[in-house]
Amino acid sequence: MSSAPHATTATQPTTAVTLQQDSAIIGLVGLAHASSHFSHLILPLMFPVFMREFGFNYSELGLLMTVFFVVSGVGQAFAGFVVDRLGAQPLLFAALMIFVLTCICASMVTGYGGLVLVAALAGLGNATFHPVDFTILNQRVSQARLGYAFSAHGLTGNLGWAAAPVFMAGTSALWGWRNAYVAAAIMYVLILLLLVLQRDKLRTQVLQSTTGTAHAPAEHAMAFMKLPVVWWCFTFFLLSTMTLAVVQSFSVSILKAMYGVSFEAATLTISAYMLAGAVGMLVGGFVAAHRSDSDRVVAICMAVGAALFALCGTGWLSANATMVILACTGFAIGIGGPSRDMMIKRATPKGATGRVYGLVYSGLDTGFALSPLVFGGLMDRGMYGATLLGAAVVLLLSVVVALGVGQRTARTL
């Protein structure tokens, strides 16, 4: 498996690809990625509403996100194998149809059981996107533009997160929270129709496994799991995502409790965080295209983000300053996004793009699943500042892991 760092080059386009074609593919995949990230917030944004309507506490609501990300994480690991066998396009369309069903069900919930079902459906829909997206990008986008493609991919994901608070809060204020979910279902239908119309740009080759020879027998489909660097990448995603989950699930409640910030202002802070992260992703694309030490770039960005989270957790800042610092945190972490994806690319064995990205990015779902369980208890005890400080500590641990990924990747070069 020593060829792992160079494996994905086999899936690159072999003929010249125009900028227009690359841009179209990147844009379509980015739109799909944005819709996936939008789904992450359709439940936590309504936590204050669910507490008022149904009387749930933070731990109960946090468990909904655990359900979402457990289903997504397990599904994502399996989806990678399916993508490698069937291609990316069928799973992409199926996922969007599941999101439509999810939003319709959310508009009709009457209790906790219904919300658990919505969380499970949303997690199932979310499961396919990273193996699907990165398989399409690695196969259809030219090598010279791949760093920018990863930047755009991360940027559009953050835009999906940024759009969700504005969309859900706005439609809820106009038509009520149930109709906000109906509007979200219509949005997913429109996205699905656009991607179906442009489906020729989303086709991928199904990579057949080789039969091997007497001197080089074919490797088992699970052989990539023996690579330690793959599991270090998994751990990095787990740790870094636990911090992001605090922002998504609890920052609205933290700002309201610590500073008396209104619901609208608090949700706009999440949008500001995600927009700043998107700008950071854009900058990070240029960094990733010109730097080979992606692990060091990621480590520096995460360390700065951890310091800013810790500052917010001290309670020393005013409400406005805290909201600004949170947005700056998104920018710092966003810069590291494209370098993070390049870091994963170097750890990917030949013909296993879907499987590796599926497994590694399931660490993201695992982090999202664990975070509400870890930090929900602190929230229920009113330890709001400690929640942010704990998120900073976890993000700092991811710095150590990122450097470990770089060391283990270098050994296989």
Q: Which residue would you say has higher pLDDT here, 257 or 224? A: 257
The answer, yes or no, to whether residue 379 has pLDDT greater than 90, is: no
Average pLDDT, the chain: 82
d(CA 332, CA 342): 17
What's the whole-number mean pLDDT along residues 9-18?
54
In angstroms, the Cα distances linking 143 to 16, 131, 137, 138 are: 10, 18, 10, 8
The predicted pLDDT at position 10 comes to 39
Residue 278 has pLDDT above 70, yes or no: yes
Confidence at 221, pLDDT banded by 50, 70, 90: low
User: Which pLDDT belongs to residue 350?
Assistant: 61
- What are the boundaries of each domain within the chain? 4-203+224-410
Q: Report helix, strand or coil for 217.
A: strand
| Mean pLDDT within 78-82 | 79
Q: What is the pTM of this model?
A: 0.72
- Counting residues of the chain whose pLDDT is more than 90, the rounded percentage is 24
Q: Residues 355-375: what's their mean pLDDT?
A: 79
Class of CATH domain 4-203+224-410: mainly alpha
Predicted local distance difference test score (pLDDT) of residue 351: 58
* Residue-wise pLDDT tens digits, 18-50: 878 888 999 999 999 999 999 988 998 888 888
Q: What is the gyration radius of the CA atoms in the chain, in angstroms?
A: 20
Which residues are within 8 A (CB) of 295 and not within 5 positions of it... i.e. 6 or more apart? Answer: 339, 343, 402, 403, 405, 406, 407, 409
